[in-house]
Structure 1
Amino acid sequence: MADFTHLQDFLQPVSKADLNDDQEYDESQIGGIADLYEEGHIPDLEAADIILLGVAEERGYGPGKAGPDAPDIIRREFYRLYYWHKDVKVADLGNLRKGARLADTYAALRTVLEEMLHTERTVIILGGGHDLTYPQYQAYASRQYVIEATVADALIDLQEESPIPATGFLMNMLTEQPNYIRHYNHIGFQSYFVHPRMLETLDKLRFDCFRLGKVRENLEEAEPVLRNTDLFSLDINIIKHTDAPANTLSPNGFSGEEACALSRYAGMSAQLSTYGIYGYRPAADRDQLTARQIAQMLWYFMDGRSVRNKEALLEERDAFWEFHIAFADIDTVFLKSKKTGRWWMQLPGKDFVPCAYSDYLLASNNEIPERWLRHQERMD
């Protein structure tokens, strides 16, 4: 497990009493069971499934950008929710100490996450600016872990030589050498905010970008993407303003319920090890509705984690229905979990990759699923 003594240099404890206005949490609330890093108390990370980490760093949005501590405002709302998932344990590392410079905060976050990757728990980062995705990735790069990364964002933050880290961090993340990103997915971009050449560039790299409207047509298509993801980064600007008032970018976006569903899909992923929720700016919020939205997304992440805990390993073939399919002169196998109803398809190399029921239907009609083709392209 992680050496918590070493991590304490980077972390500030939090207080349940402060979070709940000096009231005791009910044992049926998440705050009643969560194991927090408080003065004089070290959380038991070994017993946890999910580990929270607050990072109230906003300088990546530009000079002079600093506001109230967003992570604690989210915690206040999250810990008041009721605890339904008895098989999911929550620990809380407290808040990352801000560095003298933005680069110092990046280095501290990378160090803490690097240590946490050893634990095989899922770390949820409560931001903070969306540029914190970059040190989130660097934690994997430091360990030379080759990963699949997924970002949910109305924008594509690929602006070259931008003086504002939050608008250009993807350029560093996707182009620095050596690079440890096997594949990149972008969910929920809004076309009118994105230069067409950005999409052309990402497509040439065989990365997958999913437009907001396309994802909303069939939200379940995003589940296999997240099931295959190691690093997930979400900017709350994907949620429409009426459901998340702190999103001042656009009136359009996912509904609050759809954002909760994406978070649940992330929780269901056995591969996911870090999940950053970024872009919450309390000064722009109204009646803390956005904080409550994020808290409910965290609750649904726990719900997904509970589903994940019940899933069988692919090697346990008795727990799956097998469907042998021939399409376009290709013989392959589809698996459907008897426990969760999720699907996998076999590639020519005999590896199984996550897919959706729609992929099975296409193959049954002798059509090649686009997901199958994209996987094959990346392997060639």
Structure 2
Amino acid sequence: MSLSFLNPIEGLFTLNNYKPQQLGSILYQHLPTLGLPDLSDVKIAFFCVETPEYSYDRFREHLYSLFVGNWHFAIADLGNLPQGKTEEDTLFAIQEIAAELIKEGVIPIVIGGAPNATYSLYRAFDNLEQMVNLVSVDPKFNFGNDEELFDENSYMSKLISEPPVNLLNFSNIGYQSYYIAQEELDLFDKMCFEVHRLGNIVNDLKIIEPAMRDADIVSINMSAVQAKDMETTGNINGFNSREICAVARYAGISSNVQVAGIFNVPATDSAAQLIAQMVWYFCEGFNFRIKELPIISDDNYTKYIVLIEDVTVEFFKSTLTQRWWMKPATDKYSGPQNHVPSGLIPCLPQDYEDAVQGTIPERWWRSYRKFI
């Protein structure tokens, strides 16, 4: 059993130290005396990836002291994953643990380690027979290394090329243009991937909601957060602490997200406090998840048909959540995937408004280009 790779948390994090309304009193815990908790009722479980320079005690102190919302589901702290003899050993363990939890219907949150563990989360779906959508919150695209713009061993290069290829769609959220070569942007455009520049997002965070709604995997590189908010050195620009918590909530509320990772965590108390609140917001979002099936439950949705020259674009609006979808350009989009609703593209109200004004939405065009 892959969960045996995990070490229990320190004994100082006991249930008796917290008020009944705090997370520390309700979390299922992996303790030295009790072993791994029963996961039959658990919906979200997190574990931390140990590194030589970082202890997760402060993270747990901050997280355990937070008060729960009006939540009615169980959360588990599975402890720490020690470093393997090699980096490959550690990445393999992450993959196996994530795969086991996903199969059991538990959403794993991986905390710590390098962003290349995103590839491990992706490979965790190999035996689940589904295509996956990946959202990466990162100021860079990570195709290269210090010497080369494109490196075949980078995790992004392996994501799009190594078999089995299960990647249906990739979205980057928060890229910063001065860290991106034009060749990388051209490649993303050629592959019909979705990218959102940092400046556009901070002006209107709602534009990331459709990408998150359609994601199976969410990977958050903490380098996407401005360094001053974590009292560390690094990127002077990036999401602020409130914005990255909103991003985490969008990930939690998506009914498709099955695994999440928070990587490149600085060894500061401010960073520990921030990721604790990000986990809290993910759980808060999960509490408000609603699965919707616009095509099947017609009574709960309003259908709009927009004719743009010789192109017909169909939109669906939920009367319950006010969320929008549109039918893609080809039925091939609804191929081998496990998404709900199947065969539709999440979109924004602005996409419908643009269509009414005679502009075909960019998301529709991407689906057309991808499968034509």
CA distance in 2, matches of 1:110, 1:311: 27
1:33 pairs with 2:26: yes
1:44 pairs with 2:30: no
CA contact (8 A) 1:307 1:340 kept: no
Shift in Å, 1:23:
5.5
- Aligned match of 1:264: 249
Deviations along 1:71-115, one digit per CA (max 9) or x if unpaired, are x43222112111013233212222123211111111111111121
- Aligned match of 1:3: none
Deviations along 1:349-368, one digit per CA (max 9) or x if unpaired, are 46322111111111122221
CA contact (8 A) 2:230 2:266 kept: no
1:9 pairs with 2:4: yes
Give the unaligned 5+ runs of structure 1.
1-5, 58-65
- Aligned match of 1:133: 118
Give the unaligned 5+ runs of structure 2.
332-342
CA distance in 1, matches of 2:171, 2:291: 24
CA distance in 2, matches of 1:88, 1:162: 47
Matches within 5 A, 1:165-314: 168-246=154-232, 248-282=233-267, 285=268, 288-308=269-289, 310-314=290-294
CA distance in 2, matches of 1:300, 1:182: 27
CA contact (8 A) 2:329 2:365 kept: no
Deviations along 1:279-318, one digit per CA (max 9) or x if unpaired, are 1021xx2xx112111111111111211221x444433333
CA contact (8 A) 1:88 1:302 kept: no
Q: Which amino acid aligns with 1:10?
A: F
Shift in Å, 1:330:
3.1
1:159 pairs with 2:152: no
CA contact (8 A) 1:150 1:226 kept: yes
- Aligned match of 2:50: 56
CA contact (8 A) 2:2 2:93 kept: no
Shift in Å, 1:221:
1.1
CA distance in 1, matches of 2:190, 2:292: 36
- Aligned match of 1:118: 103
Q: 1:361 aligns with which of 343, 353, 356?
A: 353
Q: Which amino acid aligns with 2:270?
A: L
Shift in Å, 1:8:
4.1
Name the TM-score, length of structure 2 as normaliser. 0.88
The alignment covers a number of residue pairs equal to: 356
Q: Which amino acid aligns with 2:261?
A: G
Q: Which amino acid aligns with 1:339?
A: L
Deviations along 1:204-254, one digit per CA (max 9) or x if unpaired, are 2222222111222321110100111111111111111222224x3211111
- Aligned match of 2:344: 352
Q: Relative to 1, partners in 2 of residues 1:290 and 1:375: Cα closer, same or farther, differing over 3 Å? A: same
Shift in Å, 1:41:
4.2
Secondary structure at 1:258 match in 2: helix
Secondary structure at 2:358 match in 1: coil
Q: Which amino acid aligns with 2:326?
A: M
Shift in Å, 1:335:
2.1
- Percent of counterpart pairs with the same letter? 29
Q: Which amino acid aligns with 1:199?
A: L
